[in-house]
Amino acid sequence: MVLSDKRLMASTRVHNNIRKLRFANGEMTQQELAKQIGVTRQTVVAIEKEKYSPSLEVAFRIAAVFGEPLEQVFSYQP
Amino acid sequence: MDLSFSEKSAWGSLLGIAVASYLFFPDAIAHINEGGEPVGLIGRVIFIIGVLIAVEVVYHTLVAASSDSTESDERDALISLKADRNAGYALGFGAVWIVGLVMLRGTVADTNLPGTQMVAMYILLALTASEAVKLMSQLWYYRTSV
């Protein structure tokens, strides 16, 4: 647990296109996205900045909001 | 700075604990060191806790009124879990420290070692410190990655 905390401290290894997708979808605000997926706006900010990797459920909800498959929204670089 | 309700709440609670500790522990420890009975501290404890609760209620009400949402989500829960873990480490460290002091009392003829009343004060101090560690951990995780 401690080792994984250190590894995650800089940023996560899960990358995303949420910012691009928000603007491509009528310049959706972070607040609007947060409301649709059931998290706080600060969590959306953290996900966009890749400081927090969302749960699989929230990731699917984000993809569903944009109508994209999960792999178009998130990618993982080991 | 863009703060969520949970983050503002943690800042308020941390500040409250810091002020309450500053108002209580130095005088309380001096009181016991001077041979005073702990019962003499009860009034001060009740007053400080009462004021702390009242200030926290007012603060949280104002913060809630000015926030978009007071609900917490999965990131808040994860941060809370990690902060609780760190608080557990701090409390464990405090417990080992206090147990060590108590054990030394029985084996070492050192009058500077704490008496029962001071041990109780150290336990209270360890509990307060663990809560402070929890809140500081939360604030750290909110500003970094989690």
pLDDT in tens, B87-98: 999 999 999 999
pTM as predicted? 0.84
pLDDT higher than 90, residue A16: yes
The answer to whether the CB of A52 falls within 8 A of the CB of B146 is yes
pLDDT higher than 70, residue A3: no
Average pLDDT of chain B is 89
Write the ipTM: 0.81
Angle between helices B5-33 and B42-66 (to 10 degrees): 170
pLDDT for A2 equals 47
Nearest to B73 among A40, A45, A51 (CB): A40
Distance from the A6 Cα atom to the nearest Cα atom in chain B, whole angstroms: 9
Which residue range(s) make up the domain with B62?
5-143
Radius of gyration of chain A (CA): 12
Determine the Cα–Cα distance for residues B76 and A72; give it in Å rounded to an integer: 26
Distance from the B54 Cα atom to the nearest Cα atom in chain A, whole angstroms: 27
Average pLDDT of chain A is 88
More confident residue, A10 or A51: A51
pLDDT higher than 90, residue B54: yes
Across the interface, whether the CB atoms of B2 and A42 are under 8 A apart is answered yes
The mean per-residue pLDDT over the stretch B40-52 comes to 89
CA–CA distance from A25 to each of A19, A57, A60 (Å)? 10, 21, 17
Task: Give me the number of domains chain B comprises.
Answer: 1
> Any chain A CB within 8 A of the CB of B74?
yes
Residue of A nearest to B145 (CA): A51
Task: Assign domain A2-76 to a CATH class.
Answer: mainly alpha
Distance from the A39 Cα atom to the nearest Cα atom in chain B, whole angstroms: 5
The mean per-residue pLDDT over the stretch A13-25 comes to 94
Local confidence band at B118 (pLDDT 50, 70, 90 cut-offs): confident
pLDDT for B109 equals 62
Determine the Cα–Cα distance for residues B21 and A47; give it in Å rounded to an integer: 36
Beta strand A74-76 with A14-16 is antiparallel
pLDDT for A1 equals 43
> Any chain A CB within 8 A of the CB of B110?
no
Determine the Cα–Cα distance for residues B65 and A35; give it in Å rounded to an integer: 18
> Any chain A CB within 8 A of the CB of B71?
yes
Determine the Cα–Cα distance for residues B43 and B47; give it in Å rounded to an integer: 6
Would you list the domain boundaries of chain A? Answer: 2-76
pLDDT, tens digit, for every residue of A29-72?
999 999 999 999 999 999 999 999 999 999 999 999 999 999 99
The answer to whether the CB of B91 falls within 8 A of the CB of B127 is yes
- Among residues A29, A16, A23, the alpha carbon closest in space to that of A58 is found at A16
Percent of chain A at pLDDT above 70?
A: 85
- Among residues A65, A69, A45, A29, the alpha carbon closest in space to that of B143 is found at A45
> Any chain A CB within 8 A of the CB of B143?
no
The mean per-residue pLDDT over the stretch B95-109 comes to 81
Q: Is the dihedral of CA B92, B93, B99, B102 positive or negative?
A: negative
